[in-house]
């Protein structure tokens, strides 16, 4: 199948999440892979049966190589829709780019993987090992009912090498940050604002905590990961009070603590607790809760399969293949227990184009991704 035409077909099947209904695009992918002779399953969790995944495989034995990409996209916001210069689901080609929602995130990597696997399926008799394609639902909302569910439910094999499709400018990425989210609430005493000193202002107390968190954020800059940089702490939302003429008795903030690989979630939680407890709040009180952790990912490029992939990138691009870091998260974090070798994140374009109006993929970059994957499969499994 011609790569650009396949990518256009994928873009023209909307798969926004929410709501996360991937039945139509999953059926399209499954049909193509079955017709090529792949063994295909379309599992979905009972709690969300419309979140359909596709797993296609060819061959048997070792090595086991997985190509993974997600099929859901972010939705088109009302304000964003007005800014598109083309139909978001039209897969319009102009200026050597393919435009459309999901074009770069994540249907371009998926299309490249499908084409590479279709070419391998055409030579299935010469395949040495097993090739698995995973087209996963639910990545845009954390992956817990997508790749995490697939892994926990036994749908995914143990692999010697995994390629997770995301936007890396066709460089080989071997790490991304994790996330710890938390909620902090301060409690005070509400009185009439005509004499505020009789009360305890929860917003003022929270301001002291926010300043302490800013100092903590600055201190984190001393911890440097060689590929993904430094951990961070950001206060993203604040909510408190009800009216200007009353002293607020409640204030809440929601924070985002980015973690570099090897930072432990329990230690990070304790650090955040220590910051809150270090602040003199006077008569106010505070608590921190609602911790939500999303793991970091890291790997290496030491094994023969990884080195083969790096060489394919170098040969096609004529450039340094990496390794590099990937700043956003990915489903790689859910696959760490399914790889006995190494895992990389790889694909065309930039994540800065994703989740935005007039999302696009450069056709030359997309074709390079396809060629790199094709060469890798040829050298690794034939």
Q: Where are the domains of the chain?
A: 3-176+296-381, 178-294
> Which among 324, 317, 304 is positioned nearest to 167, based on CA atoms?
324
Report the predicted TM-score, pTM, of the whole model to 2 decimal places. 0.91
**pLDDT value of residue 77:** 86
What span, in angstroms and rounded, lies between the C-alpha atoms of 60 and 76?
A: 41
> CB count, 10 Å around CB of 368?
18
> What's the rounded Cα separation, in Å, for the pair 109 and 63?
22
Calculate the alpha carbon distances from 295 to 148, 200, 254, 292, 344 in Å. Answer: 12, 38, 19, 10, 15
- Cα separation, 225 vs 260, whole angstroms: 7
Q: Give me the architecture of the 178-294 domain, per CATH.
A: 2-Layer Sandwich (3.30)
Q: Tens digit of pLDDT per residue, the chain (382 long)? A: 799 999 999 999 999 999 999 999 999 999 999 999 999 999 999 999 999 999 999 999 999 999 999 999 999 988 888 999 999 999 999 999 999 999 999 999 999 999 999 999 999 888 999 999 999 999 999 999 999 999 999 999 999 999 999 999 999 999 999 999 999 999 999 999 999 999 999 999 999 999 999 999 999 999 999 999 999 999 999 999 999 999 999 999 999 999 999 999 999 999 999 999 999 999 999 999 999 999 999 999 999 999 999 999 999 999 999 999 998 999 999 999 999 999 999 999 999 999 999 999 999 999 999 999 999 999 999 8
DSSP annotation of 152? H
Q: Where are the alpha helices (DSSP H) in the chain?
A: 3-11, 23-35, 78-81, 108-121, 147-152, 202-220, 265-277, 304-317, 363-381
Handedness of CA 91, 97, 102, 107 (dihedral sign): positive
The end-to-end CA distance of the chain, in Å, is 21
Do the Cβ atoms of 312 and 172 come closer than 8 Å? no
**The predicted structure's pLDDT at residue 80:** 87
pLDDT at 100: 98
pLDDT of residue 30: 98
What pLDDT sits at residue 229? Answer: 95
| Pairing state between β 297-298 and 97-99 | unpaired
Tokens read off for 190: 């509400």
For 320, the 3-state DSSP assignment is coil
Q: CATH classification of 3-176+296-381, choosing from 3.40.50.720, 3.40.630.10, 3.80.10.10, 3.20.20.70? A: 3.40.630.10
**Does 178-294 match 3-176+296-381 at the fold level?**
no
For the chain, the residue count is 382
Ramachandran angles phi, psi of 202, nearest 5°: -70, -30
18: left (phi over 0), alpha (psi -120 to 50) or beta: beta
């Amino acid at each position: 199948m011609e790569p650009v035409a396949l990518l256009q077909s994928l873009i023209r099947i909307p798969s926004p999440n929410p709501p996360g209904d991937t039945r139509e695009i999953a059926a399209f992918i499954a049909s193509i892979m079955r017709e090529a002779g792949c063994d295909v399953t379309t599992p979905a969790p009972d709690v969300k049966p419309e979140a359909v995944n596709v797993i296609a495989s060819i061959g048997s034995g070792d090595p086991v190589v997985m190509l993974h990409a997600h099929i859901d996209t972010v939705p088109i916001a009302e304000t964003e829709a007005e800014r598109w210069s083309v139909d978001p689901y039209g897969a319009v080609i102009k200026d050597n780019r393919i435009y459309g929602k999901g074009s770069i995130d994540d249907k371009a990597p998926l299309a490249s993987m499908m084409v590479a696997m279709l070419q391998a399926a055409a030579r299935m008799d010469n395949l040495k090992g097993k090739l698995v394609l995973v087209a996963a639902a639910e990545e845009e909302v954390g992956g817990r009912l997508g790749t995490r569910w697939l892994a926990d439910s036994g749908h995914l094999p143990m692999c010697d090498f995994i390629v997770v499709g995301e936007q890396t400018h066709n460089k080989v990425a071997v790490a991304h940050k994790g996330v710890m989210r938390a909620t902090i609430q301060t409690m005070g005493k509400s009185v009439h604002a005509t004499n505020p000193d009789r009360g305890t202002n929860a917003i003022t107390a929270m301001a002291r905590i926010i300043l302490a968190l800013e100092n903590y954020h600055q201190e984190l800059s001393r911890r440097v990961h060689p590929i993904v940089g430094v951990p961070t702490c950001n206060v993203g939302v604040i909510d408190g009070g009800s009216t200007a003429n009353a002293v607020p008795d409640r204030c809440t903030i929601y924070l985002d603590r980015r973690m570099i690989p090897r930072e432990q979630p329990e230690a990070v939680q304790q650090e955040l607790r220590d910051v809150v407890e270090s602040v003199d709040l006077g008569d106010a009180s505070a608590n921190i809760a609602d911790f939500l952790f999303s793991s970091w990912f890291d790997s290496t490029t030491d094994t023969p399969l990884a080195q083969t992939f790096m060489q394919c990138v170098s040969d096609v691009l004529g450039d340094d293949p990496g390794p590099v870091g990937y700043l956003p998260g990915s489903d790689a974090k859910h696959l760490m227990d399914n790889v006995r070798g190494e895992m990389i994140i790889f694909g065309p374009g930039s994540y800065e184009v994703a989740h935005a109006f007039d999302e696009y993929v450069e056709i030359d970059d997309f074709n390079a991704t396809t060629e790199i994957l094709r060469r890798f499969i040829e050298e690794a499994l034939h």
